[in-house]
Amino acid sequence: MAKSTYRISFGSGEKPDFKKVGRIMIWSAVVVFLLIGVLTSFYTVDDKQQAVVTTFGKVTDITDAGLHFKLPFGIQQAHKVDVNVYQKIELGYITQDNGKTVSVEEESAMITGDYNIVNVDFFVEYKISDPVQYLFSANNPTLILKNLIQSQVRNVVGSSTVDAVLTDGKENIQQQVRELVSDILADYDVGLTLIDVRIQDAEPPTSAVVEAFKAVETAKQNAEAVVNDAKAYQNAKLPEAQAQSDKLLQNAHYLKQKRINEAMEAVAMFNAMYEEYKNNPDITLSRMYYEAISQILPDVRVLINTGDSSSMNMLLPLESIIGDK
């Protein structure tokens, strides 16, 4: 088979200038290299972020919001971290893109201290406090935090009663979980700070138990309403009772003072009579006797024998002595 021969013609029989083509390719490569270097030498950090700059894999700087320069071609790298954003973890449920929630029973099912099963969903907020520790101290700090919260939630719920978990003990459970997780995070130092832990929902696993606890909660609310009504009645009646009490006390003070005044008057009369008795004991005794007779026999006319036989008025009426009563 005959071989075919192909020739490339550059026009007019001229030979190509390989040196010129080589120079063009070199300058083109230099321009591309410089362009890549310029484009990879600058980076922007927004106001919610910080950037950890590494030089040959070693942390050399932390930059805040703004436009910054770094060495190109992978010599320096900027790792952006959202440090000023509250991030969330959902335990026991997942919120889908359409806003609906899907239960995750393997996360929510727990045993209480009195051996009851409950489903408890938790909502957790946290933020990145140390971007360097967050990036390089652990492979997945968020997963570590989630596992830690799950462990402490089960620990606290496992030491609480089912009544506390489902009704009035939620705030105390949340507080205990926050304190335990915050202490352990401080020891682990993975660059995360716990902001809040809240019980999103808590319910028994069966509908019958749910209804029973709803009835208990309703009874508690009714009891509170009765107590509030009693307090309102008490607050309404107390001023009236206090006024009545003040009136009785004032009357008692008046009667007390009246009796004291009467006693003092009687003492003064007795003292005055006693002084008269000391001056004229016979006359005073006779007067006291006559007054006693008139009080004992008010309707009897009493005449006094003066003992003077020479007088025509030997008998004197008592009224002339003590006065006409």
pLDDT at 6: 44
Cα(303)–Cα(294) distance, integer angstroms: 11
Backbone angles phi and psi of 165, in degrees to 5: -65, -40
Q: Is the pTM of this model over 0.85?
A: no
User: Residue 191: which of 132, 266, 240 has the closest Cα?
Assistant: 132
Number of CB atoms found within 10 A of residue 130's CB: 19
> Which residues lie across from 90 on neighbouring strands?
123
* Coarse DSSP helix, strand, coil percentages of the chain, rounded to the nearest 5 percent: 50, 20, 25
In a structure prediction context, what are the per-residue pLDDT tens digits for the chain, which is 325 residues long? 444 444 444 455 555 666 777 777 878 777 777 777 667 788 899 999 999 999 998 999 999 999 999 888 888 899 999 999 999 999 999 999 888 989 898 899 898 988 888 999 999 999 999 999 999 998 899 999 999 999 999 999 999 998 889 888 999 999 999 999 999 998 888 999 999 999 999 888 666 666 766 777 788 888 888 998 888 888 888 888 888 888 889 999 989 998 999 889 888 888 887 787 777 777 777 777 777 777 777 766 656 655 555 544 544 454 554 455 4
Number of CB atoms found within 10 A of residue 229's CB: 10
User: Residue 91: which of 139, 143, 141, 149 has the closest Cα?
Assistant: 149
User: Residue 68: which of 78, 58, 59 has the closest Cα?
Assistant: 78
pLDDT at 237: 85
Q: How many alpha carbons lie under 13 Å from residue 223 in its C-beta half-sphere?
A: 6
